[in-house]
Amino acid sequence: MKLSQYFLPLLKEDPKEAQIASHRLMLRAGMIRQESAGIYSWLPLGLAVLQNIERIVRDEQERAGAVALLMPTIQSADLWRESGRYDDYGKEMLRITDRHEREMLFGPTNEEMITAIFKNFVRSYKALPLNLYHIQWKFRDEVRPRFGVMRGREFLMKDAYSFDVDEAAARRAYQRMFVAYLNTFARMGLKAIAMQADTGPIGGDLSHEFIILAETGESQVYCHRDLLDMPAPGDVDFHGDLSTHVQERTSLYAATEEKHSEAEFLKLPEDKRISARGIEVGHIFYFGEKYSAPMGASVTMADGQLRPVHMGSYGIGVSRLVGAIIEACHDDAGIIWPETVAPFHVGIVHLRPGDSACDAAVAKLEALFTARRVKYLTDDTDERGGAKFACMDLIGLPYAVTVGPKGAASGMIEIKHRKTGEKKEMPLVDGANFIIHALSEAGAI
Amino acid sequence: MKLSQYFLPLLKEDPKEAQIASHRLMLRAGMIRQESAGIYSWLPLGLAVLQNIERIVRDEQERAGAVALLMPTIQSADLWRESGRYDDYGKEMLRITDRHEREMLFGPTNEEMITAIFKNFVRSYKALPLNLYHIQWKFRDEVRPRFGVMRGREFLMKDAYSFDVDEAAARRAYQRMFVAYLNTFARMGLKAIAMQADTGPIGGDLSHEFIILAETGESQVYCHRDLLDMPAPGDVDFHGDLSTHVQERTSLYAATEEKHSEAEFLKLPEDKRISARGIEVGHIFYFGEKYSAPMGASVTMADGQLRPVHMGSYGIGVSRLVGAIIEACHDDAGIIWPETVAPFHVGIVHLRPGDSACDAAVAKLEALFTARRVKYLTDDTDERGGAKFACMDLIGLPYAVTVGPKGAASGMIEIKHRKTGEKKEMPLVDGANFIIHALSEAGAI
């Protein structure tokens, strides 16, 4: 992509409304624009990141056996009356009346609807286990939306719902999602820790939040230091027993404020106690028959008996993750994207558009990158070099390649690694291959 | 994908509410479920088709130079008051009041918001031409939603918006979308004809609808027969002059009912006159300064003068296309997906799950297909053979491969081509390669 044909509206000044780094950087880097309180347009650079995150989430959900569908944003109020949650949600639920005076709502979550779908179609235990997920825009009418996409009103969420014949099977479904979540966040370059959590309006008695430690986190969290060094489970057999992976992590203390026990925490050796701020990026629940019983979602068991299914639900804040990743990955100059979610892998700083040797070198780089599915953004504008370098630092592409008249004459390019700041000169083809190799190692191409 | 791990809730009976083939077949094939009037869940098979269509639309938009962003579903009423359209839309617009009593709406289209974004960021003619598009759920509160996803209330639409310095440049932008649309629909196996159309509430004086002929179409259309045989422009240079491609098509008579002139039509030779029903799958508009002037979206020209930009907008009914393709591609037994949009490319009918020779043959096929990115659905359930074949015909995958005990013993498979009904026996590897080759020729893998 050529910058001259792209739409990247950078802001020169720090926006006043932004209180945290991710909000400030997303506005400065032309990723989002606020349309109403807590409601954003995703500009091209922001959308590219959002799509990359969505792709990783889908990939890991499907690896763990979840099947994608898509429920609508608008739901009927009657459906929510069946579960008894229509009134519970209060003013956070955006209520709507259509032209025929029917009461509708913009879905804040989908337990009711998925239960209705299940009940409509599934009759026998033979269809289980089943885990259905979707990635859809939700709406929660927060009193005070803030921190940009971290606490918006219209937000993109992945929610999965598992259906099982009994509690033991449902706990295995819970474990599959537990492991899938750790892998998902690790692929995005994040260290997420599963912590005991409150179930809130979803209900149930077993729940974990997946938390990223960051100074700007909205919640206070407590955990054992060893959890920080534990790698994600990685390539596991999702048909097999995953309880070891889960126990390894849940046997160490980790709790959100609501579930925190100071007495338990103080039993940890002092140098193992971590008390910090955290950002919730995922939340999983086991709630058994809470929805299936009142809504009559039952299956016929092998013995002929009809029994309500055991359910769980599993959320990931897809749009919030864009902000969370920036909170975890930035410096004073701008964003530092992990390779797997970067909107482009490489920025090509073209210092002399119109100079035939430079144009040819840039074209050659672009061809090498295209052949290997490396996404590049070429700054072919007539800005000064300094402004182009600052732009690359701000938008945080993993690698910046500079092509100028001197290098073009001698066949050299300069490569800058955004994360370390390290720079080196290399012959053009070697440099391109070096980047391609590094991106491939990082699982980005 | 194994059917036993998938969610494909087929209906045995024809649903009473379905008046047209696509609605009936989408319900029967477990592609959608109605949640409220005109509001659907997309079940896994339906979502897979929707995503394939979306991918083709994105690909062709970007080839033509459009840049993706994503605007939210919920918009502020004030924005629509600026253009004067807040009242024009009447009851079709879903109006919402949030918890702070602010007037909002679920966007039926995005001319106002994109103009506000443009105005916010673009100051100079140098940034033009610019074409920004998104694919987002829209809501139009139809009095009588009907025909399934063909006229739903919540629907997925691609809308692009072009910004140019003057009318001549804007007409070139219009031509790029005109050509991109013909290519887009052709890639989905559809024959779409561009017809002169009314501009309705969008405004402007130049507009074409892209129409697919089908008996169940909602509009009466008239065109020259030669348009039916004209292939899509294909691989053109979008930086070059496209007027020949457009003129070739617009010089022949083609009009929707609103723009129809019986006198002009009767001038065609009688054997060239086509009067038929049509389904609108795309609609493009040039409306000049209609939004940019009242909303103050201007740029500074080379001579220093400030001038309102010239705009066009370009819609494709992404969710409607699923229904439109079925209307064009089905028979009495079910759907016949074009290869490029099929939810899976191949169905593997496993006649004897548990039989080791059959299991091995199926596993080998799956491995061959996976290696070439061919998407397959293996029916590994304990249904009878007859039911499995009927299921494959209903869901309409381009190829069905049957693996049974006899064939497995002799290393043979049976391949059925859904479209022609033609069957042939082939050695397993040859058969797999035959399918891979055919899918590759069709541009599906």
Write out chain A residues lying below 8 Å of B102, CB-based. Answer: 36
Beta partners for residue B423, in sequence order: B416
Q: How many CB pairs under 8 A join A and B?
A: 140
Question: What pLDDT is recorded for position B202?
Answer: 74
Nearest residue of B to residue A138, measured between CA atoms: B73
Distances (CA, A) of A292 to A66, A83, A115, A297, B410: 19, 9, 7, 5, 49
Q: Which of B140, B264, B132 is nearest to B196 (CA)?
A: B264
Write out chain B residues lying below 8 Å of A50, CB-based. Answer: 70
Residue contact B69–A47, C-beta within 8 A? yes
Q: In what order do the strands lie in the sheet with B412-417?
A: B376-379, B346-350, B399-403, B412-417, B423-427
Helix A167-187 / helix A44-63 crossing angle, nearest 10 deg? 140
Q: Give the list of residues 6+ apart from residue B101 with CB closer than 8 angstroms, or none.
A: none
Residue contact A70–B139, C-beta within 8 A? no
Tokens representing A438 are: 């590094």
Rounded CA-CA distance A4/A7 in Å is 8
Q: What pLDDT, in 10s, does the model give residues B179-214?
A: 999 999 999 999 999 999 988 777 777 999 999 999
Residue contact A72–B96, C-beta within 8 A? no
Question: What pLDDT is recorded for position B205?
Answer: 77
Nearest CA of chain B to the CA of A289: how many Å? 21
Q: Which of B98, B132, B154 sits opposite A73 (nearest CB)?
A: B154
Q: Give the list of residues 6+ apart from residue A86 with CB closer than 8 angstroms, or none.
A: A77, A80, A93
Picking from A27, A36, A51 by the largest number of B CB atoms within 10 A of its own CB, the best residue to mutate is A36
Question: What pLDDT is recorded for position A312?
Answer: 97
Tell the residue number behind the tokens 């070697």, with chain if given. A430
ipTM: 0.97
Rounded CA-CA distance A315/A420 in Å is 33
**Does A157 score more than 90 pLDDT?**
yes
Write out chain B residues lying below 8 Å of A104, CB-based. Answer: 36
Label the pairing between strands A130-139 and A154-164: antiparallel
Share of residues in chain A with pLDDT > 90 (%): 96
Residue contact A5–B91, C-beta within 8 A? no
Residue contact B44–A9, C-beta within 8 A? no
Rounded CA-CA distance A68/A62 in Å is 8
Write out chain B residues lying below 8 Å of A238, CB-based. Answer: none
DSSP A376-430: EEEE-SS--HHHHHHHHHHHT-SEEEEE-HHHHHHTEEEEEETTT--EEEEEHHH
Rounded CA-CA distance B78/B199 in Å is 24
Q: Which of B39, B68, B75 sits opposite A72 (nearest CB)?
A: B39
Nearest CA of chain A to the CA of B279: how many Å? 24
Nearest residue of B to residue A65, measured between CA atoms: B5
**Does A202 score more than 80 pLDDT?**
no
Residue ranges and CATH numbers for the domains of chain A are: 3-334 (3.30.930.10), 344-441 (3.40.50.800)
Residue contact B36–A75, C-beta within 8 A? yes
Q: Give the list of residues 6+ apart from residue B339 with CB closer than 8 angstroms, or none.
A: B189, B345, B398, B438, B439, B442, B443, B444
Share of residues in chain A with pLDDT > 70 (%): 100
Q: Which of A5, A69, A99 sits opposite B42 (nearest CB)?
A: A69
Q: What pLDDT, in 10s, does the model give residues B269-296?
A: 999 999 999 999 999 999 999 999 999 9
Write out chain B residues lying below 8 Å of A69, CB-based. Answer: 7, 41-44, 46-47
Nearest residue of B to residue A122, measured between CA atoms: B9
Question: What pLDDT is recorded for position B199?
Answer: 81
Residue contact A6–B67, C-beta within 8 A? yes
Q: Which of B41, B65, B69 sits opposite A42 (nearest CB)?
A: B69
Residue contact A44–B67, C-beta within 8 A? yes
Write out chain A residues lying below 8 Å of B58, CB-based. Answer: none
Residue contact B72–A154, C-beta within 8 A? yes
Residue contact B72–A5, C-beta within 8 A? no
Question: What pLDDT is recorded for position B88?
Answer: 86
Nearest CA of chain B to the CA of A116: how many Å? 9
Cβ(A74)–Cβ(A106) under 8 Å? yes
Question: What pLDDT is recorded for position A210?
Answer: 98
Picking from B39, B41, B117 by the largest number of A CB atoms within 10 A of its own CB, the best residue to mutate is B41
Residue contact A9–B122, C-beta within 8 A? yes
**Does A201 score more than 80 pLDDT?**
no
User: In degrees, to the nearest 5, what angle opens at C-alpha B1 toward C-alphas A245 and B392?
Assistant: 160
pLDDT along chain B (445 residues), means of 10: 98 93 98 98 98 98 98 97 90 96 97 96 97 98 94 97 97 98 98 92 86 93 97 97 97 96 97 97 96 94 97 98 97 98 98 97 98 98 97 98 96 98 98 98 97
Write out chain A residues lying below 8 Å of B92, CB-based. Answer: 99
Cβ(A179)–Cβ(A64) under 8 Å? yes
Label the pairing between strands B219-224 and A94-97: unpaired
Average pLDDT over residues A13-24: 94
Question: What pLDDT is recorded for position A326?
Answer: 98
Q: Which of A160, A61, A154 is nearest to A107 (CA)?
A: A154
Residue contact A139–B74, C-beta within 8 A? yes
Cβ(B149)–Cβ(B155) under 8 Å? yes
Q: Which of B35, B73, B91 sits opposite A75 (nearest CB)?
A: B35
Residue contact B74–A132, C-beta within 8 A? no
Q: Give the list of residues 6+ apart from residue A331 with CB closer than 8 angstroms, or none.
A: none
Beta partners for residue A423, in sequence order: A416
Nearest CA of chain A to the CA of B37: how many Å? 10
| Mean pLDDT (chain A, rounded) | 96
Tell the residue number behind the tokens 């060239």, with chain if given. B272
Write out chain A residues lying below 8 Å of B75, CB-based. Answer: 35-36
Residue contact B70–A96, C-beta within 8 A? no
Nearest residue of A to residue B65, measured between CA atoms: A5
Residue predicted with more confidence, A165 or A84: A165
- φ/ψ of A186, rounded to 5, equals -60, -40
Average pLDDT over residues A96-123: 97
Residue contact B47–A39, C-beta within 8 A? no
- φ/ψ of A84, rounded to 5, equals 85, 10
* pLDDT band per the 50, 70, 90 thresholds, residue A309: very high
